[in-house]
Structure 1
């Protein structure tokens, strides 16, 4: 069930009305209803996936109980190992089994020893990478004595399967989201209105910006042999806006939907394309995943406590693991490694923490220096997106080779664009202007038109709805559903 589908447009209002009108009178009934709703939402893709998420939830619920009650450190470590083995094992089988089998077979073939191993016809469960990391955060935090395990199994199952963020994040920590299932929620009109604004802007990002950019990017990447370097660079830029509009749009809808149900989810994006260097970009892009790897991988590896070179080693590990988390393809590893290379000079010179605040806060335009930094960082990130988008390493290298050739200086040209696609290209600057104007807020429409008369403000919302209705691109599945 997609957020931008008719199914969800019917599903969520019904859930909202039943949740606040009937089931919110009792906390246990409220959590039970959210659990059932979440399982209906998740089972809409394939009901068989429900057994997997239920099994993972059951394991971690009892592991959490066992770790808390264990009398020895050996028992605690054993139970943690059970959780890690089961969760990462399931993730490995469903997501990476064929990748390892195919590459192992190819390696043996190259050395003259053919290996007879067949791949499996495995369907990747939607969102498995997200809820696996979410349940692992629970057992690890219980093991570290940072939280106490919940005694309420309905509460825990609802936490793991909470439908607004189930299939594409943000990856919530148990210490932040789980306690919210333990207290009675009260409807807050102001929070609900802000949630509606965030949903509206998320739909605009996804349906107008991302889906239309996808049509252009797909055409250019799928026919890259036919195009000049300038056109391929434009295709990479379209993909940069596609993936940002797609993923941050999903996150906006998730946060807005959760707030309508009385929950507060973690911010997942903070205007990353206004970053002044790559380090700042990674503090602003997919924040929940970046912080997860920092807390559960980077710091346990030693972080930067062993000096610059240990920090560099651990940074490379994090970026490579992050790349591999995205999918079983060498292109994702190359994408992660490339970002690590971009990050390394900042780390070694101690400049990786120089940009924390809002860029040129309160200013109408960025300073010339910051504008240059933003543009340079954007093109570095866009360069790396080529590997993320390419089907394989060879395709990525062929595209890069053309981009850095003399054809980069030719006028971009590709197939005929529709009027809608031309209009959307014109909307990209408008989209950036909205984001720039709202860069100090939690989302771009948080205080949009707050000083305007109410009719003018509602006219602005109506214009955005009108734009979504008439400029919606060809429906594209959310990119991060495949991860």
Structure 2
């Protein structure tokens, strides 16, 4: 089941909200959320739901055992003498091993088998061709953050397995993120408050995300799916450029749309999930791009891989090695194929180049030049991400520079790229932060501007005293301005309702609704 489906929009979500808000006790709400989350997952993965239940039980057990041997500086045991480090380290190692082995078996068994057999020239390992459990990468990483944070003493152990299960299986962020750490919602499990204002804010964000996914990502995906599987020689420069450009918009609106919907659903229930995308296509460097793109994933690798390896507080060779290890893991996390590994290493090399050589030059250049630099970086990065097979990647790269002519063996009419030109401004505007900018300006206008005046300070003898800055009173918002703000809010809500209706109509009438998170 996915958010942009008729069964979710018209059956699952209304039924869940009705039951969830019908029960008055938070403890029962937690159980309701767990039950509906397991139902949500079992709808598409009836067999693998037991894999998730097993993950919940195993991580709950390991964390409890670690707590038995002391809970570090931040846990329930007051005396550090009570902490026995070696059993705790052993339990942490076992917990990480179990989690990573399960993830590795289901996600990478076929990849390893194919590559080992190709290297040996014989069928040494059987390729089991396992179906990938949806969302296994997300709920495994969340389980890892929980056991590691319990080991570090940064969170208290959760003794109720149903509550831990609710955290790991929580359906809003189960299959598409963001990666929510247990520390992010530890307090909210028992103390969250669902308010009408929070529910309305979450509903608005859900509508925004649904529109991104259905109206923008799916539209761009039609063109991308028609071009990306083809040979570069058949479609030439126009086809290859159009395919990668369409995928560039598809993956952003798809990923950020799902994150917006997840965060919105969380707000409806009183949870504050971390932000996952912050207009990454406005970045001016590779470093900034990854501070804005899939922020929860970047935070995970920073706090649970990069820093434990030593981070940047090591000598240069070790720093370079740490960076490339993290980016190699980031690439392989996204998919079991060499192009994903190459994509991760591509970003690792770029970030190192910026760190040692390029960043100083970028800081001196006008912002639009730095922005063009970043556009080129993520454009060719998505080429590595979208086109499978290293040989095909090389051909597509050559096609970008005219190796197969303007349109290859096809005509421009056959490629259908021309029919999407009118959508480019919509896609560009949708990826820019104009909405928060306008909201900030409107709020400042409604509240009145703060006026500051430079006045001379009194002299102290013969000393020269600099002038001081005096802040005058903020003028009160007038009723007329308040009415304008109310009218704008009503118009925005009406527009979001229209987006929701159009999205539902598109979902109901179209069979094209790809779920590109499936490979994760």
Provide the TM-score with structure 1 as the length reference: 0.88
Work out whether 1:382 is the aligned partner of 2:389.
no
Partner residue, 2:445: none
Paired position in structure 2 for 1:104: 116
The equivalent residue for 1:14 is 15
Aligned-residue offset at 1:450 = 5.0
Is structure 2 residue 261 aligned with structure 1 residue 253?
yes
Change (3 A) 1:408 1:306: farther
Aligned counterpart for 2:294 among listed residues 283, 286, 290: 286
Question: CA, structure 1 residues 439+124, in 2 after alignment: closer, same or farther (shift >3 Å)?
Answer: farther
Please provide the CA RMSD for this pair: 2.7
User: Which residue of the partner structure matches residue 460 of structure 1?
Assistant: 495
Contact 1:101–1:118 (CA under 8 A) maintained in structure 2: yes
Q: Which residue of 1 aligns with 2:367?
A: 370
Query: For 1:285-329, what per-residue CA distance to the aligned partner results, in whole angstroms no more than 9, with x for missing partners?
Result: 011111100001101111011133322221111111000111110
For residue 348 of structure 1, the aligned residue among 356, 359, 364 is 356
Structure 1 Cα separation of the partners of residues 317 and 439 of structure 2: 37
Correspondence for 2:107: 95
Moved more, 229-238 or 12-21: 229-238
Structure-2 separation of matches of 1:406 and 1:173: 47
CA distance in 1 between counterparts of 2:380 and 2:221 reads 17
Structure 1 equivalent of residue 516 of structure 2: 479
Is the Cα–Cα contact under 8 Å of residues 215 and 474 in structure 1 kept in the other structure? Answer: no
What is the deviation of 1:479? 1.4
Whole-angstrom CA distance in 1 between matches of 2:489 and 2:309: 53
Residue 461 of structure 1: how far off its partner (Å): 2.7
SS in 2 for 1:438: helix
Cα distance change on mapping 1:439 and 1:373 into 2, 3 Å: farther
Query: What SS does structure 2 have at the residue aligned with 1:44?
Result: helix
Distance 2:300 2:87 in 1: 25
For each residue in 1:375-416, what CA deviation from the matched residue of structure 2 results, as whole angstroms up to 9, or x when unmatched? 220221110111111121111111001112366777993526
Output the CA distance in 2 between the equivalents of 1:75 and 1:471.
55
Partners of 2:106 and 2:115 lie apart in 1 by 16
Residue pair 1:232, 1:403 contacting (<8 A) in 2 also = yes
Equivalent position of 1:38 in the other structure: 37
**Do 1:31 and 1:155's aligned partners in 2 also have CA atoms closer than 8 Å?**
yes
Structure 1 residues 466-475 or 341-350, which shifts more? 466-475
| 3-state secondary structure, aligned to 2:3 | coil
1:75 corresponds to 2:87: yes
| 1:311 partner SS | helix
TM-superposition CA deviations, 1:262-281 (whole Å, max 9, x none): 11111111110000100000
Residues 207 and 475 in structure 1, CA contact (< 8 A), matched pair in contact too: no
Shift of 1:371: 2.2
- Structure 1's 432 and 101: CA in aligned 2 closer, same or farther, altered over 3 A? closer
Cα distance in 2 for residues equivalent to 1:386 and 1:209: 20
Partner of 2:155: 147
**Cα offset for 1:417?**
4.1
Distance in 1, matches of 2:334 and 2:138, equals 10
The residue number in structure 1 matching 2:343 is 335
1:295 matched to 2:303? The reply is yes
CA distance in 2, matches of 1:282, 1:301: 20
Gapped runs of 5+ residues in structure 2?
Answer: 70-82, 441-483
Question: Alignment partner of 1:92: what SS?
Answer: helix
Deviation at 1:168, TM superposition (A): 1.3
> Any conservation in 1 of the 2:207–2:497 contact (CA below 8 Å)?
no
- CA 1:288–1:158: 2 relative to 1, 3 Å: same
Post-superposition shift, 1:475?
2.5
Q: Who is 1:86 aligned against?
A: 98
Task: Deviation per CA, 1:106-158: give whole Å up to 9, x if none.
Answer: 1111xxxx343321131110100000000010111111111120122211110
Q: Where do 5+ consecutive residues of structure 1 fail to align?
A: 356-366, 443-448
Contact 2:234 2:407 in 1 (8 A): no
Change (3 A) 1:299 1:120: same
Closer/same/farther in 2, CA of residues 232 and 256 from structure 1, 3 Å limit: same
Tell me if the contact between 1:211 and 1:474 (Cα under 8 Å) persists in the aligned partners.
no
**CA pair 76-459 structure 1, distance change in 2 beyond 3 A:** closer
Following the alignment from structure 2 to structure 1, what is the Cα–Cα distance between the partners of residues 270 and 38?
A: 19
C-alpha distance in 2 between matches for 1:283 and 1:104:
36
Distance 1:222-1:136 versus aligned 2 partners, 3 A rule: same
TM superposition score normalised by structure 2: 0.82
Q: After alignment, is 455-464 or 240-249 more displaced?
A: 455-464
Q: Does the aligned pair in 2 maintain the 1:155–1:182 contact within 8 Å?
A: no
